[in-house]
């Protein structure tokens, strides 16, 4: 182990690798800030420029782009409520509210610090437990994957609060929208109305850009806009109290991110939503969640980053990508003539351990680069909104085009923008819709596979210990909050009745 | 029940009725695709049917809840009354006055002008998307920034032109030169 780490350190700290790691992190941050351009697109777009490099240098740079994009997405979520990708959607809830209260710098700094802590924790986890965890994840069959997705969907109840029915309705709508196009495992096209652009489904990144960026702009115009934020510099800086409040959510978020990031396909989006939902249940400051709480930034950001790092476990150890970005990275391995899997650790130790150690330096560079720049990024909010929003629409449209290289993407943003605006006007939550949209294809795939595995019987999820535990947890998470509310309401009603009877007596 | 609450309740019922219709249509469509295969396994219509049914059920539950909440508000308990006041206060701060009063927002618009501005912005975006194949992507989006700044926001010409040019230069450098995105150029060859 020590020999491997020293070998990795020797590879990672070479001036050339450090330089490309820095370039990757910086480029990734910029790309992640652009609406719609998340880690997957960022890595895919920049993959060609690494083809002339040494494999290890190229992979270190691509990994830098990956986590740079993750943080860049958080910046645009916090500042202008425009997530770079689906894993940053949750940050628009509290991060954006903190920004509107003049605390954008603190939100960005907390995001950077919790990301760094989660990265370091997940790196230690990755180094120590990659092999055993990978073998445990191998036990996950269709039923277990289905149970994980159900667990993810159940978190909607917790973060929808008292508006749980609307949250569930929006999640179901998201799943419904995700079924447009050719069905997973079938040749039937659904709800395409003869439009060839819809055969491959409604592109969720473009939908997300429309819902969040264009929808938010239209909503702000209808509300009368926000005044430019003229926060004092000291309000932009993270305080000791902020840091204290961020410790527990960061640790909880890291744990959730690690657990879910290891599972192939579950990924950072589910982890960020789930950690937010759990924080809303257990945090001391849960009543502030949704209105600019530090916990609402620290937990999802930590889980997002921990999941991103943990998703390298199935990628490197099994050759199964943990998410979209690692799928592109898997492609990069193959381009360089490397075959990820258990043998990679033995045949290419310098590459594997160099890459793992470079995560530490990459995340350190990300922190060093972004912590001092947080108040600078936050200055964007000083611009009058009437100059800022046309630029947001401009970059949203061109960002959406860059994802699909298709004019149809622009129309998707246009329609989703109107839908997002109407949802805000009618007070329908947007985040559950996005979660449904993201999880829909995974849910259908898991349902089809579980159905085949159980010969048409979906109840097999109750017959295996892991899937049974996860399904029961999903039921508790889904039904528990409503049941607790009802019990509390009944108890307070009984107390009031007893008090009245005592007064009369 | 205040006007604000009545409006919120009616708009909620309308919104949920639209959703219920979408859910019902999806359920019918899903059943048509086949919920199960001949072998008894899940078919292509299973998930659309289930999702459509859930949208339908949740929307109907929400409509019933909104409808049932209307008479309850006629005689609110003290706690409900105080939360209603708080909600109304938030509404006053957060939402534009609905009576079309002359109070101006941060853009310098009245409530009626706000509604018009939303549709102007939305229409301008649609026009820009239509112009992309004719002018090229970056010029069309540059025009979008100009139109929003000058026509919708009525800002001074020089800062709006500078914003538009700045956005175009930024987009050209990042998307065309660095990321090599093949943006549509239009018949005149502009990027």
Partner-chain contact B106 A169, CB within 8 Å = no
Alpha helices (runs of H) in A34-141, residue ranges in sequence order: 39-46, 55-80, 91-100, 104-137
- Between CA A261 and CA A203 the distance in angstroms is 23
Q: Which of A22-31, A41-50, B82-91 has the lowest mean pLDDT?
A: B82-91
Distances (CA, A) of A335 to A50, A52, A56, A264: 11, 11, 12, 21
Q: What is the DSSP secondary structure assignment for residue A190, as one 8-state letter?
A: E
Which token pair is B90?
């938030």
Which band of pLDDT confidence, cut at 50, 70 and 90, is reported for residue A424?
Answer: confident
Could you tell me if the ipTM is greater than 0.85?
Answer: no
How do residues A461-489 score in pLDDT, each as one tens digit? 898 888 898 889 888 877 777 777 777 77
**Residue A69, Cβ density class (10 Å: 0-12 exposed, 13-18 middle, ≥19 buried):** buried
- Between CA A323 and CA A121 the distance in angstroms is 20
How do residues A145-168 score in pLDDT, each as one tens digit? 888 788 778 766 655 656 788 888
Low-confidence ranges of chain B (pLDDT < 70): 1-5, 7-8, 70-102, 189-191
Q: Crossing angle for the helix pair A385-404 and A215-223, nearest 10 degrees?
A: 160
Per the CB < 8 A criterion, the answer to whether B29 and B46 are in contact is no
Of A190, A417, A421, the CB nearest to B48: A190
How do residues A307-335 score in pLDDT, each as one tens digit? 888 888 777 776 666 666 777 787 788 77
How do residues B29-82 score in pLDDT, each as one tens digit? 999 998 988 888 889 999 999 999 999 999 999 999 888 876 554 444 443 433
- pLDDT above 70 (res A225): no
Taking contacts as CB-CB distances below 8 angstroms, the residues of chain A near B96 are 222-224
- pLDDT above 50 (res A282): yes
Give the residue on B whose Cα is nearest the Cα of A411: B129
Per the CB < 8 A criterion, the answer to whether A175 and A442 are in contact is no
Partner-chain contact B11 A425, CB within 8 Å = yes
Which residues make Cβ contacts (< 8 Å) with residue A55, sequence separation at least 6? A336, A337, A338, A351
* pTM score: 0.73
**Residue B170, Cβ density class (10 Å: 0-12 exposed, 13-18 middle, ≥19 buried):** middle
Q: Can you give the pLDDT at residue A267?
A: 67
Q: Can you give the pLDDT at residue B89?
A: 35
Which band of pLDDT confidence, cut at 50, 70 and 90, is reported for residue A380?
Answer: low
Which residues make Cβ contacts (< 8 Å) with residue A46, sequence separation at least 6? A24, A27, A31, A61, A62, A65, B179
The CB density around residue A3, as the number of other CB atoms within 10 Å, is: 9
Which band of pLDDT confidence, cut at 50, 70 and 90, is reported for residue A36?
Answer: low
Give the residue on A whose Cα is nearest the Cα of B127: A414
Q: Does A482 touch chain B (CB under 8 A)?
A: no
Q: Can you give the pLDDT at residue B138?
A: 94
How do residues A257-268 score in pLDDT, each as one tens digit? 888 877 655 567
Nearest to A198 by CA among A214, A215, A178: A178
Which band of pLDDT confidence, cut at 50, 70 and 90, is reported for residue A230?
Answer: low
The minimum CA-CA distance between B9 and chain A, rounded to whole Å, is: 9
The minimum CA-CA distance between A349 and chain B, rounded to whole Å, is: 32
The minimum CA-CA distance between A271 and chain B, rounded to whole Å, is: 23
Q: Can you give the pLDDT at residue B168?
A: 95
Q: Which of A251-255, A278-282, A309-313, A470-474 has the lowest mean pLDDT?
A: A309-313
Q: Can you give the pLDDT at residue A175?
A: 93
Give buried/exposed letters for A359-377 (b at 16+ CB in 10 A, else e).
bbbbbebbbebbbebbbeb
Partner-chain contact B171 A166, CB within 8 Å = no
Q: Which of A194-203, A435-444, A475-484, B110-119 has the lowest mean pLDDT?
A: A475-484
The DSSP H or E segment spanning A457 is: none
First to last CA, chain B: 56
- pLDDT above 60 (res A103): yes
Partner-chain contact A386 B175, CB within 8 Å = no
Q: Which of A193-197, A382-386, B101-105 has the lowest mean pLDDT?
A: B101-105
Distances (CA, A) of A363 to A21, A113, A452, A493, B19: 10, 10, 42, 52, 44
Partner-chain contact B62 A165, CB within 8 Å = yes
Q: Can you give the pLDDT at residue B91?
A: 39
Per the CB < 8 A criterion, the answer to whether A98 and A106 are in contact is yes
The minimum CA-CA distance between B148 and chain A, rounded to whole Å, is: 6
* Local structure of B110: helix, strand or coil: coil
- pLDDT above 60 (res A18): yes
Q: Which of A92-96, A375-379, B59-63 has the lowest mean pLDDT?
A: A375-379
């Amino acid at each position: 182990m020590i020999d491997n780490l020293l070998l990795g350190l020797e590879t990672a700290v070479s001036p050339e690798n450090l330089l490309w790691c820095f370039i990757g992190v910086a480029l990734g941050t910029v790309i992640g800030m652009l609406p719609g351009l998340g880690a997957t697109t960022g890595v895919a777009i920049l993959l060609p420029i690494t083809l002339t490099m040494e494999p290890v240098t190229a992979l270190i740079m691509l990994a830098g782009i990956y986590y740079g994009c993750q943080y860049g997405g958080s910046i645009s979520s916090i500042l202008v409520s425009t997530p770079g990708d689906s894993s940053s959607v949750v940050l628009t809830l509290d991060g954006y509210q903190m920004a509107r209260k003049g605390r954008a710098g603190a939100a960005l700094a907390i995001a950077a610090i919790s990301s760094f802590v989660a990265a370091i924790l997940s790196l230690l986890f990755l180094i120590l437990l990659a092999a055993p965890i990978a073998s445990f994840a191998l036990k996950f069959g269709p039923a277990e994957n289905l149970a994980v997705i159900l667990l993810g969907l159940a978190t909607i109840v917790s973060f929808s609060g008292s508006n749980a029915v609307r949250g569930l309705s929006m999640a179901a709508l998201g799943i419904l929208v995700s079924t447009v196009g050719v069905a997973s495992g079938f040749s039937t096209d659904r709800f395409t109305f003869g439009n060839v652009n819809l055969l491959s489904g409604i592109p969720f990144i473009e939908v997300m850009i429309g819902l969040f960026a264009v929808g938010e702009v239209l909503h702000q115009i209808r509300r009368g806009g926000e005044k430019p934020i003229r926060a004092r510099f000291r309000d932009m800086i993270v305080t000791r109290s902020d840091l204290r409040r961020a410790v527990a959510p960061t640790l909880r978020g890291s744990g959730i991110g690690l657990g879910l990031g290891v599972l192939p396909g579950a990924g950072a989006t589910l982890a960020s939503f789930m950690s937010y939902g759990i924080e809303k249940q257990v945090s001391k400051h849960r009543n502030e969640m949704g209105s600019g709480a530090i916990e609402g930034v620290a937990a999802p950001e930590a889980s997002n980053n921990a999941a991103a790092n943990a998703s390298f476990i199935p990628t490197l150890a099994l050759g199964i990508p943990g998410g979209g970005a690692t799928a592109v990275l898997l492609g990069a391995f193959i381009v360089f003539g490397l075959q990820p899997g258990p043998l990679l650790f033995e045949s290419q130790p310098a590459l594997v351990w160099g890459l793992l150690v470079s995560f530490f330096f990459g995340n350190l560079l990300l922190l060093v680069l972004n912590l001092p720049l947080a108040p600078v990024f936050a200055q964007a909010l000083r611009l009058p909104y009437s100059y800022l929003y046309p630029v947001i629409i401009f970059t949203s449209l061109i960002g959406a085009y860059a994802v699909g290289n298709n004019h149809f993407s622009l129309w998707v943003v246009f329609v989703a923008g109107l839908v997002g605006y109407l949802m805000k006007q009618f007070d329908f939550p947007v985040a559950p819709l996005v979660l449904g949209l993201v999880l829909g294809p995974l849910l259908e795939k898991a349902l089809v596979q579980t159905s085949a595995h159980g010969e048409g019987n979906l109840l097999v999820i109750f017959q295996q210990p892991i899937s049974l535990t996860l399904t029961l947890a999903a039921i508790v998470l889904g039904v528990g909050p409503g049941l607790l509310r009802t019990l509390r309401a009944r108890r307070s009603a009984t107390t009031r009745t007893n008090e009245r009877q005592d007064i009369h007596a | 029940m205040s006007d604000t609450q009545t409006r919120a309740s009616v708009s909620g019922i309308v919104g949920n009725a639209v959703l219920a219709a979408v859910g019902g249509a999806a359920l019918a469509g899903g059943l048509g695709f086949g919920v199960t295969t001949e072998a008894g396994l899940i078919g292509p219509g299973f998930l659309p049917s289930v999702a459509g049914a859930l949208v339908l059920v949740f929307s109907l539950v929400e409509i019933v809840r909104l409808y049932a909440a209307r008479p309850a508000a006629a005689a609110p308990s003290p706690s409900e009354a105080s939360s209603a006041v708080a909600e109304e206060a938030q509404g006053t701060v957060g939402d534009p006055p609905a009576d079309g009063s002359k109070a101006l927002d941060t853009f310098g618009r009245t409530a009626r002008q706000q509604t018009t501005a939303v549709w102007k912005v939305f229409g301008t975006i649609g026009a820009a998307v239509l112009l992309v194949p004719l002018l090229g992507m970056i010029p069309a989006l540059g025009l979008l920034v100009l139109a929003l700044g000058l026509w919708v926001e009525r800002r001074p010409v020089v800062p709006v032109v500078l914003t538009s040019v700045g956005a175009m230069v930024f987009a050209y450098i990042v998307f065309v030169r660095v990321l090599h995105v093949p943006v549509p150029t239009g018949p005149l060859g502009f990027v």
